[in-house]
Structure formats: C-alpha cells, structure tokens
Structure 1
Amino acid sequence: MQPDVPPLGNAVWQVLLDGTRAGVALLDRELRFLYVNPALAEINGVDADAHLGRHLAEVVPGVDFDEQILRSVLADGVPREVSSSGQTRADSAHARRYWNGCCHRVTDDAGGVLGVGLVLLEVSEDRETQRELERARERLLVLDAAAVRIGSTLELEQTCQELVDLLVEVLADTAAVEVLSTGRRDGHRPPPHGTVRLRRAAMSARPALRAVVAGFGEPGEYVDYQPGSAIPRCLETGRPIRMNLLPDEELSRSAPNPERVAAYRAAGIHSALIVPLAARGEQIGTVTMIRAGDSPGFDDEDVAVAGALAERAAISLDNARRYTREHGIAVELQRALLAAPGTPNPRVDVASRYLPAGANDLVGGDWFDTLALPGGLTLLAMGDVMGHGIGAAVEMSHYRSMLRVGASEGDAPDRVLRRIDRLLSAGGAERPATCLLAIADPLRGAAWFASAGHLPPAVVSPDGRVQLLDVPPGPPLGADLRGSYETVYAPWPPGHTLLLYTDGLVERRSEDIDASLARLAGLKLPHADGPLDALLGQVVSRLAPDAAEDDVAVLAARAAPGHGPRREPAR
C-alpha cells in the first residue's frame, strides 16, 4: 500500500520551473506565449513578460522552428519531440545554436484544451563536438587517401598530378601546382625584376570547367607573377592565402596579371585558396585551389585540410625532386663513363648497348669495357656494381680503372680476378661487384672466361642459335668471401658472336633465374651473321621489350676468320 502523497502547492511548482536550466513555455491554442520560465527567457535574450501574447516568430525570428508540430500536438494530443536551430537575441559564442526537446498538449480538469507545453534543452556544445569529430574523421579519410594516392612514383610531374586530382575530388572545382623555376634551362630570359617565375607542373578541373581552365595555360608552361600578387605573397609569408568573393580591383592585384580578371569572371570564378608547398625548410612552390559558380567560398576547415594535404604532398614532391636531380646526375655520369670504352684488337668487332631502368628506378652500376692486350688478344669485361645511384656509378668507374691496370699484362682471366679481388679487399671496397671476363683470341678462334659471381656468357652461331657457356661463378669482387676463380676455354669459330650481359637483360622478379636463362638460350635470332648492332637490337627487343626492371648492359664481339694460331694465355 503506497503512502499518501501530500499535494504540492503552486509555490513548489514555481520553484521547480524557475530553478531548472531547461527552457519551459506554455503556449495557448493560437500558439501565443502564456508563460516562459527564466531559463527560456535567458536563452531567447528577451524578458519573460515580453514573451506574453506573442508568437515564436515574433520573439525569435532567427530561429528555425516548425510550428506545424505544435499544431499536430494540439489536434491529436500525442506528445512529440522537437528540434530547432538558429540564433536568438541572446549573445552566443556559437555560429549557430541548436535545441532539442518535447511538447505535449495541456488540458484543464474538465479535459478542455488549454494549449501546448514546450520543454527545450540547448545542445549546441554537443553538436559542435559531434561536428568536430565528423570533420576530424573526414580529414583523416582525406589524408589516408593522400597517403595512398600521392607519391606513388618518384616522378615530380606525376606526384603533382596526383595531388591536384585529389584536391578536385574533395576541395576545389579546379586546382594547379606550380613549382619554383630555377632560372636555368627553361628556354626563357630571366623574369623581370620583382616578378616571381614558376613552372606549372600539373592542373586538374571538374568536367564542366576543363575547357575553360585549358584556356589559362597548360602544364609545363612558365608563369611570371606580378609583384604583390597572391602567389608571391604566399611564398614570402609561407602561409595560406584565402580569397573569397573578391571584387575586381582586389582580384586584379592578386592575379598573375590584371588581364586575367575578365577571363576569371567569365568562367564564374569567385574564390581561391593558395597554400605553400615546402619541405625540409626549402620552398618548392604553391598549390592553388579555385571555386566557381554555385560552390561556396573556402572556410577554415578547407584551409586546414588543404594545408595538411600540402604538407604531406610536399614531402613526396621533395623526394621526387631530389630523386630527379640525383637520377639525372647518375645517368649523365654513367653514360659519360660508358661512352668511352677501351679499344679492342683491330681483328675484333665489338658492339655494346646500355639501357637504364625505368624512370622510377635509380641508375645501377652496370658497366662493360674492352681492352687490347699483347699478342693480338682482346679483353672483354662485363660487370655490375651492387646498389644504385651516384655511388654505384662512381664505384663502377673505380672497378673499370682497376681492371685496366690488373689486366694489362695479358694474364688468364682467373688471375686477373684474383688480383683485383685482393686489391679491393685490402682497400676495403664499399660496394661488391659481379664481373665476367673474357680473353678473346681472334687468330686462334678461341676464348677464355672467368666469372666473379656473374651470369654465364653466351655464343650466338651464324644461324641464330644461342648457347650458354658453363663458367663456374666465383665470389663477387670486393665481397671478402673465400673462394676461387676458374678459367674456362671455349671455341670461338669465325662468324660466331660472344655475348656478355648484365642480369637486367634476363632476370624478372617473378621468375626463377634458371627460367630466365632458358629464355635467352631458347632464342632463335634471324640474320645473326649481320651487323652486331642489329643483333643486339634483336636480343634486347626479344628479352626486354619494355622498360626493364633493372639496367641492361650488353656487349657483343665477333672474331674475323683466316688468321694463324696463337698461344693460350699464361696460367
């Protein structure tokens, strides 16, 4: 049996309503205020008495509230949840305020409808927190996409294109990356004093704007920016520049030159965001994002996302730029070194071919050489220094120089390899190398081979058949490994071609080396007795028709028939 509950007087209810932080109101059947508590008066920024007899829209015209919900409650008596948003007459730190609550029908003791009771709680803080979380999640998704899509290669232009393509998907109607010009090799005179020259590396735009954007220029062009324009200011300050709904006068100052303004307006361009690209304390360029037509201006969140993307992309761009610089130096160095091989014996025809790996790979240490020896002999050498880049190219030169000194006396190939290996071990070689040596005697129709961990040589007969020679591989040079080298004799009949090569010609990452060598041995080369250059062209096109996974170096030598015998090299 429940205890008797004493009736609560109006004073108690008044204390309860006045003390709650929820906004409470009673509206009559015409939805005019009959009562508001102090909390709702504070929320609305209007005295409680000033509410009475007035409608919601009169008291808080800046609040979005669906009065139809209240009318439905009056009609059927079913309580309902309500939500609203906007700004009242009270000061607030929130750009937009939000409220949630409920409403119910109020009746008298006889069941007559008096009006609607309304209870509201402000949830602006919760909504802001939720929106921040949503924005953070969206930002992380964009950055995750950037980590996967930007910097997939070490090519500067490709990396720039990946960046602008992503920006057009998530932030802009059109985007462009421009990198600082070095002032050299651009085919132009130096820019006028005070202007800043950049090279447009990549552009992207939504389909509706592509034709218009193409009229502003193409990737690869150089653009001179007038003093004080937006991009020079961005580079000078190192901070983003946001320009929303600029008037013509200000847009004229921010554009590369004033003549661009009319074209921008014709395209519907109204807002821009420019973000600097810098990595490791060095400026790279800028990324410019444009919005046009019905797209809104850029807000603070756009600036934050664009800055995060630019910061991440700048590292990839700097890596690509450094790689491009090193790759170019390494290629030039290696080509310069390989462009001047030694001179073979006049009775030996020699041809060579060197193909650097694809653009995404650093140059390796592939090398070859020929050298005329006493007694009409010719030394043929093919080697591969381990590693890539400038260091491998420089070390390649070291090996070639050491070989020319070590082989000058005409010793057998195994003795030459042992001599070089001892010198390298004593001097502490930084990069081991494989090497295949051949001493060819065109007068005797014979050749002698020795290998330091290199792939076997081949002989191409005049009818185009390829035979691999069995040359036991000793340890690589400079590896400080115990082992021996062995000289192997092979006949070299007139019209037959000796073929020396590096692993880039035959090896494939997904293939066993025996299968790779079998492909070489299975070749049938037409017109194999023709010019050596043509023969090498056939070999390369059959085995490495596209960009190889590693550098390719090939050396071919053919003996001239009709000469007397010569002695075998000393052992």
Structure 2
Amino acid sequence: MSAGNAEEVVVGLDDSLPEPLISADADEAIAAEPARTASRLAREYRILHQIVAGTHAGISVMDTDLRYLYINPRMARMNGLPAEAHLGRTLREVLPGVHRPDAVLHKVLADGKPRELVGTGHTQVDSPYERREWRVTYHRIEDERARIIGIAGIGLEITEPRQYLHGLERAHQRMALLDTAATSIGTTLDVESTCKEVADFVVPGLADAASVDLFDEDRPGHRLHSEPGVMRLRRMAFTAPPYLAKSLARLTDLEGFVEYDASSPLRTRLESGLPWVHNLRADPTLPGDDGGRYARRLAQYLAAGVHSALVVPLATESRQLGMLSMVRCAPAPAFTREDTAVAQELAARAARALERSLQFAREHTMALELQRALLSEPHLPNPNVETATRYLPATDGTLVGGDWFDILALPRNRNLLVIGDVMGHGVEAAVAMSNYRSMVRAMAAAELPLDEVLFHADRMVAESGFERVATCLLALGDPYTDTVTYANAGHLPPLRLSPAGDTELVPVPAGPPLGTGLGGYTTVTRPGLPGGTLIFYTDGLVERRDEDIDTSLHRLTRLHLRPQDTLDQILDAVLAQLTDGPARDDIALIAARPCRPRQS
C-alpha cells in the first residue's frame, strides 16, 4: 500500500495545528526580529519534519475527540493507507480490525499523565502474523495558554519480537509438558489406568476433550475387522468437561467401541502411522466419504461446539496399539503444527507405557491361568479328613506369584497337606511352582520321611541350578496315632483353632528354604486335635510393609472364628478379618479337620 508523501504530511500538519505548537515564544520573537525569527522557525520546522518523517516510529496527532490531525509516513505504511485517509476520522473508522483501549487515551487527556499501551489486530497491510501488536506511548498536547488541544502517540510495531518471545514461551511449555508426561503417564502396569492417565493428561493442557482407543486384543479375530472392511477399536478412556462429555459420548459407534471403514481418512492415517488434523469449520466434509457417513459425524461434532480435531496413532517400533484423539472448542484456537508435534511425542511416550502395560497384562493372564490350572487339579484327601482351600491373586497390579497348595491321600488313611511359596512373580514363578509341586508329590508317594522329602527337593533344585527358591510346609496327619507330623522349609507356622474357639500358632522349627542346598530339615510330631481345625497360609495373608513379622503373626491369634462353622465359612472369616483393600501379594490357604463321626 502507498503512504502519504512529505508534502501531504506537511499540509495536513499546517492545516490542523496552531503555530504555538512549534514554538511557545514565536509571537514575541517575531515581533522583535521578524526576518531572523521566520528563518529560524523554517529551519526548525525542516529539522523536525526530517525527524518525524524519517523515524521508524509511527507518530500520530489526534484532537480531543481522538480524530486524526496528522500521521507520519511510517504510520501510513504500517496501516496500509495514505495519510489523507486518516485525517478527520477515528481509529475505528479507519482500521476497524485494530483494537485500542480508548479509555486510556481519555485518561491522558484528563490528567496529562503519559501512558503506554499495546494495541492488537489487523491493518490493511499483508502480514505473515495471525495477529499484530503495537506498543504506543501517548502524551497530552496543550497550547501556550495551557488549553488541551489533543493527544500525540509515538509507537513501534512489536509483533516480531513478541512472536519470538511467545514462541520461546510455547517451546518452554511444550518441554515442561513432555517432562511432566514422563512422571504422569504409565505410573501403573494396568492398561485401563494407563489409558486414563493419557486422556487426563492432555485435557485441558492440549485439548478440550480426548479419548484413547486400542485394538481389541481380547478378541484377536476382531482386531482389524468386525465386519468386512471395517476396523474396530475399543474405547479405553475418555476425558471431557461435563458440557462436552454427554454430546461427544453419543458419537461412539457401539457401546465401548468405535469403527472405521475403508472410506475413513482417519483409518488411512492410522494405518500409515501419520497424524490427522482437521479444521471442521474450514472444511466440514471429508474426501472419499462417498456415503456421507463421516460428514454426518463431523456435523455432529460441529453441533457439539467442536471446531478442530487431532488424531495421533499410538504405535511402538514393533506394532500399532491404537490412537489418541483430541478435539478443541471455542474459544481455543485450532490445532497447529506445533500442537501436532507435541501430540506425536506424547503419543510415542504413551505407546511405550501402554506396551509395557499390555505385556504385563499378557504375562499376568498367562501366569494366572497356569496357576489356576495347576491348583484346580483334583486333590482329594482320604475320607477321614475334610478340607477347604482358597487362592487369591494379588490385586494391586503385581504379577501373579508362585503360591501353591496340595492335599495328598497316602496309604493307611494318612493325609499329607502341602503349602508353599516360590520367590518372585510371573510366569517363571508359576512354572517353578509346578516343578516343586511335582517333586514333593513324587517323593511323598515314595513314603519318604518328611524331612527327607524336603532334603531331596532342596538338593535337586540346588544342583539343577534353578534359581527360584521356595518355602514349603508339610503336615502329615495319621488317624491311627492321632498325631500330626510337620517338616518346615522356611515357611510360616500353621494356625490351630480349638473346638472352644481359641487360636494359637503351632510351633514348628523352620529349616532353610528349598533351593539353597543347605539342608538341615527336621520333623516334629504334635498331638492331633479332635474337633479342631488347622489353617495353613502363605505370607501374603499376614505380612505388612514396615511391620515386624512377629507382630503380623500375632494378629492371627486375635482372630474371631467360630469352630462350628464350615471350613469355607472359616476361611472366609479369616480373609475378611485380615485383608483390607487390594492384596499386595498372592494368598493361598488350606483348612483341614478330622471328619465328625456320622450319627447313627
């Protein structure tokens, strides 16, 4: 745009401002020395004009109604309009796209104190910036009689440096966001919790609403297609403020699922690993959407107030897991390239956390199924003893452990009760449990003394190089002698419930755990307890963090149990009184007592 030339500016100034504005003593000086004063004033005027016309600052003069009396060439160029287009008009009339708080200028006129303010908006000049900014200082103008005749403004455009500072600030915010993500996402090994952490993290910092959708791993046949040509994902997490949650939740295809057919551009992006950004206001349609299905969905988003969408694949180096979807509503701006870059980095970190969670879930499921399969094998004692068992896997996200129990019917109506706990968790612990269980069974079937059963099991494991040590307690009940013989490899002592309802720990000397190769096991025989109940357990029942084991064991002796109850009821009562909240470790229990003679 062309700006006013020097002559245009001079005419505007001469026509608009009285002479005293140039020199307060002009009248008196002209009366004394007319020729010399006139020459000096002309020289001063030329100097002032060169300064005002050549400065990089925009200069304007307005009357008391804030109508332009003068603007310098720089101001004309910044506004994209010639000088004469400003004269006699207000800023709003000349440049309606520029915002300036005129109340500040009226305060300058009222009290004469200079003030600085920032104006923002758009002028008639093309600019690479979405919004321009100017910093202007305003001064009140008075004549020689101290009459207020207007206001002068001197300002510079600060768009570029402010954009630079804004860019640095945004970069710092992005780095802070990504740093926070490292400690906020993946704090547990639970898949659903991790998905919820991802959705909660990006709202409201990066989006107004967000969802995390994963391929349906529980149904491999539906991982890619629920119908021919349709890709199906399970909605794992959704976060939105209440005003958005209800309207956006209705856009899910099926309860708990979202589906995309071959016409969806989002599916194409997901399969290629690229992000998808869409400004719904600028383009409410989707290319390739022949049936109009996705156009209708976009219309629903618009009706809910959504104007911008960003979808980023959740993928690791080995496979695709799903996608992170985000939307924005007014007054938030549309998603930018910077937002996309941040979202991709967040998605990469989230995908790694989800991969760990999914791997954990697979291992946990595998170990739990293995453990349950092994523990569900038939284990019936001789008819002279009744038993009940319980197995509770840890519920705090820990991998399933190697707890096990067994009940073996031996010749001469004897019954061997076995309970053990393999060190560690996961599939390896479950496999180790199976090995220990098989060894004890084999040697017990050979009718070896209990201390020799433990000795040979310890030696075989130690010599094989197997690194999973285990505790194990054996209890052999003999109805002919009415005794119970014990052998212990580092396990906790059993609990005895008397017919009167008293509880006490049975003192059983403990040798080293199996697998250490140390040996040194002994047996001890205690009297039986007609009508009483023996309870065997693993450490998950009693151990507490930061608590001495003796204190934990003493808690067993304070249980309130009813000896006349069934064994299942007794075990339920034990669990109810000793477990409060998620279990930190697996718990295995056996309850056994002699059968009551049948009434004739």
Please report the TM-score for the alignment, with normalisation by the length of structure 2: 0.80
Partners of 1:483 and 1:435 in 2: CA distance: 13
With over 3 angstroms needed to count, the CA separation of the structure-2 counterparts of 1:298 and 1:74, relative to structure 1, is same
1:288 Cα deviation after fit: 2.4
8 Å CA contact 1:225, 1:257 repeated in 2: no
| Secondary structure in structure 1 of the residue aligned to 2:584 | coil
Aligned to 2:551: 515
Q: How does 1:493-532 map to 2 (within 5 A)?
A: 493-528=529-564, 531-532=566-567
Aligned to 1:118: 153
User: How many residues of Structure 1 are paired with residues of Structure 2 in the alignment?
Assistant: 555
Partners of 1:95 and 1:291 in 2: CA distance: 19
With over 3 angstroms needed to count, the CA separation of the structure-2 counterparts of 1:167 and 1:188, relative to structure 1, is closer
Amino acid of the structure 2 residue aligned with 1:471: V
Partners of 1:138 and 1:256 in 2: CA distance: 38
Partners of 1:30 and 1:496 in 2: CA distance: 103
Aligned to 1:553: 588
Amino acid of the structure 1 residue aligned with 2:260: Y
Aligned to 2:258: 223
Residue-by-residue CA offset, 1:59-107 (whole Å, 9 max, x unaligned): 6554323455445545654322232122334443322221213122345
Aligned to 2:193: 158
Aligned to 2:271: 236
Aligned to 2:59: 24
1:487 and 2:523 aligned: yes
1:118 Cα deviation after fit: 2.4
Aligned match of 2:211 in 173, 176, 201?
176
With over 3 angstroms needed to count, the CA separation of the structure-2 counterparts of 1:311 and 1:187, relative to structure 1, is closer
- Range with greater deviation from structure 2 (285-294 or 430-439): 285-294
Aligned to 1:567: none
Partners of 2:224 and 2:198 in 1: CA distance: 30
With over 3 angstroms needed to count, the CA separation of the structure-2 counterparts of 1:183 and 1:376, relative to structure 1, is closer
Aligned to 2:9: none
- Range with greater deviation from structure 2 (146-155 or 397-406): 146-155
Partners of 2:426 and 2:451 in 1: CA distance: 29
| Secondary structure in structure 2 of the residue aligned to 1:407 | helix
8 Å CA contact 2:396, 2:583 repeated in 1: no
Partners of 1:507 and 1:479 in 2: CA distance: 23
Residue-by-residue CA offset, 1:135-179 (whole Å, 9 max, x unaligned): 345546655665565444333223323433444444545433221
Aligned to 2:399: 362
Partners of 2:280 and 2:215 in 1: CA distance: 27
Partners of 1:39 and 1:548 in 2: CA distance: 75
| Secondary structure in structure 2 of the residue aligned to 1:523 | coil
8 Å CA contact 1:200, 1:219 repeated in 2: no
Please report the TM-score for the alignment, with normalisation by the length of structure 1: 0.84
8 Å CA contact 2:224, 2:230 repeated in 1: no
8 Å CA contact 2:498, 2:563 repeated in 1: no
Structure 1, unaligned stretches of length 5 or more? Answer: 1-5, 563-571
| Secondary structure in structure 2 of the residue aligned to 1:250 | coil
Partners of 2:332 and 2:288 in 1: CA distance: 21
Residue-by-residue CA offset, 1:520-565 (whole Å, 9 max, x unaligned): 122242144x543333333223323654221110123334589xxx
With over 3 angstroms needed to count, the CA separation of the structure-2 counterparts of 1:451 and 1:249, relative to structure 1, is same
With over 3 angstroms needed to count, the CA separation of the structure-2 counterparts of 1:110 and 1:269, relative to structure 1, is closer
Aligned match of 1:203 in 238, 242, 248?
238
Amino acid of the structure 2 residue aligned with 1:158: S
With over 3 angstroms needed to count, the CA separation of the structure-2 counterparts of 1:209 and 1:121, relative to structure 1, is closer
- Range with greater deviation from structure 2 (102-111 or 115-124): 102-111
Aligned to 2:496: 459
1:394 and 2:418 aligned: no
Partners of 2:374 and 2:225 in 1: CA distance: 34
Partners of 1:12 and 1:265 in 2: CA distance: 60
Amino acid of the structure 1 residue aligned with 2:167: E
Amino acid of the structure 1 residue aligned with 2:227: P
- Range with greater deviation from structure 2 (166-175 or 437-446): 166-175
Q: How does 1:429-468 map to 2 (within 5 A)?
A: 429-468=466-505
- Range with greater deviation from structure 2 (366-375 or 256-265): 256-265
Amino acid of the structure 2 residue aligned with 1:87: H
Partners of 1:363 and 1:430 in 2: CA distance: 18
Residue-by-residue CA offset, 1:462-497 (whole Å, 9 max, x unaligned): 3332221111222222235x4622222211133333
Amino acid of the structure 2 residue aligned with 1:117: A
Residue-by-residue CA offset, 1:433-465 (whole Å, 9 max, x unaligned): 111122222221112212221111122223332
Aligned match of 2:372 in 326, 335, 345?
335
Residue-by-residue CA offset, 1:293-344 (whole Å, 9 max, x unaligned): 7765444454455444433433332222222111111110100111115554
Aligned to 1:568: none
Amino acid of the structure 2 residue aligned with 1:443: Y
Residue-by-residue CA offset, 1:18-44 (whole Å, 9 max, x unaligned): 664333344566756665555445434
Structure 2, unaligned stretches of length 5 or more? Answer: 1-39
Percent identity, please. 46
| Secondary structure in structure 2 of the residue aligned to 1:401 | helix
With over 3 angstroms needed to count, the CA separation of the structure-2 counterparts of 1:249 and 1:60, relative to structure 1, is closer
Amino acid of the structure 1 residue aligned with 2:515: G
Partners of 1:404 and 1:551 in 2: CA distance: 22
Aligned to 1:287: 324
- Range with greater deviation from structure 2 (431-440 or 338-347): 338-347
8 Å CA contact 2:396, 2:584 repeated in 1: no
Partners of 2:99 and 2:502 in 1: CA distance: 87
Amino acid of the structure 2 residue aligned with 1:364: G
With over 3 angstroms needed to count, the CA separation of the structure-2 counterparts of 1:216 and 1:31, relative to structure 1, is closer
1:410 Cα deviation after fit: 2.3
| Secondary structure in structure 1 of the residue aligned to 2:123 | coil
8 Å CA contact 2:462, 2:515 repeated in 1: yes
- Range with greater deviation from structure 2 (436-445 or 175-184): 175-184
| Secondary structure in structure 1 of the residue aligned to 2:492 | coil
Partners of 1:258 and 1:80 in 2: CA distance: 52
Partners of 2:254 and 2:480 in 1: CA distance: 59
Amino acid of the structure 2 residue aligned with 1:177: V
With over 3 angstroms needed to count, the CA separation of the structure-2 counterparts of 1:295 and 1:97, relative to structure 1, is closer
Residue-by-residue CA offset, 1:201-253 (whole Å, 9 max, x unaligned): 23343323444344334986333312131431331232322222355543993
1:423 Cα deviation after fit: 1.7
Partners of 1:27 and 1:535 in 2: CA distance: 94
| Secondary structure in structure 1 of the residue aligned to 2:442 | helix
8 Å CA contact 2:190, 2:397 repeated in 1: yes
Partners of 1:549 and 1:44 in 2: CA distance: 70
8 Å CA contact 1:472, 1:486 repeated in 2: yes
Partners of 2:215 and 2:104 in 1: CA distance: 60
Aligned to 1:278: 315
1:78 and 2:136 aligned: no
Partners of 2:452 and 2:162 in 1: CA distance: 82
